[in-house]
Amino acid sequence: QGSPCHIYFDLEFNAKLNQKRDADEMVDTLVAVTFSALQDKYSIEGQEEWIIELDSSNEEKFSRHLIIRIPKTAFKDNSHVGAFISEICSRIAAQRAANPNLDKLYITKDSGAEPVDQLFVDTAVYSRNRCFRLAFSSKSGKKSFLVATGRFKCKNMNDKELFMESLICRLDDDCDKLLICKLDLECKKALHFDTEAS
């Protein structure tokens, strides 16, 4: 809470309810939407070599972490990242009818009575004082470890580099810009996008 951090996603779905899903294609589509939002809101042109992708999927659950480290830049804190991710989710929902490709980002979730159609992005991870699982770790009592997928930046990294690069609150010494994304106090329903010196 309150610490500058990088963009991070917790992506998950029930694998048995969502068979025949191409997880890599889903992630690639989400990355494209994210890069489009970065360009529109902050004039930042996204690069695939900024992306760390970790996976701990098994037969029952798809689970992947995505961390995007923009050089010399971070978000002011995880609440600002959360607001930016909300903007991305809103874009996806608004453009879904016009762009059938975005349907790939929606999964079936069993909510008890009947299945529900929702995005595969877990937005609960941006609230205060949350834990975000570290590379090479598993949840308590589980045997699914969070390891590199071998895609994006992970292709050329050793274990130590991967671990350090996947820490969402670890900033490089030359980080000099913080991205802001918060509700505009003048208009409660509008997001305000800005930058400030680190």
Cβ atoms of residues 78 and 5 within 8 Å: yes
Please check whether residue 12 lies inside any domain of the structure: yes
Domain that holds residue 35: 7-197
The two structure tokens encoding residue 52: 């760390």
- pLDDT tens column, 14-58: 878 888 888 889 899 999 999 999 999 999 999 999 999 988 888
Closest by CA to 7, choosing from 63, 86, 61, is 86
- pLDDT tens column, 141-182: 777 777 788 888 878 788 888 888 888 888 988 888 899 887
Q: How many CA atoms lie within 13 A of 166 on its CB side?
A: 29
Cβ atoms of residues 151 and 53 within 8 Å: yes
Please check whether residue 181 lies inside any domain of the structure: yes
Q: Give the number of domains in the chain.
A: 1
Q: Is 73 helix (H, G, I), strand (E, B) or coil?
A: strand
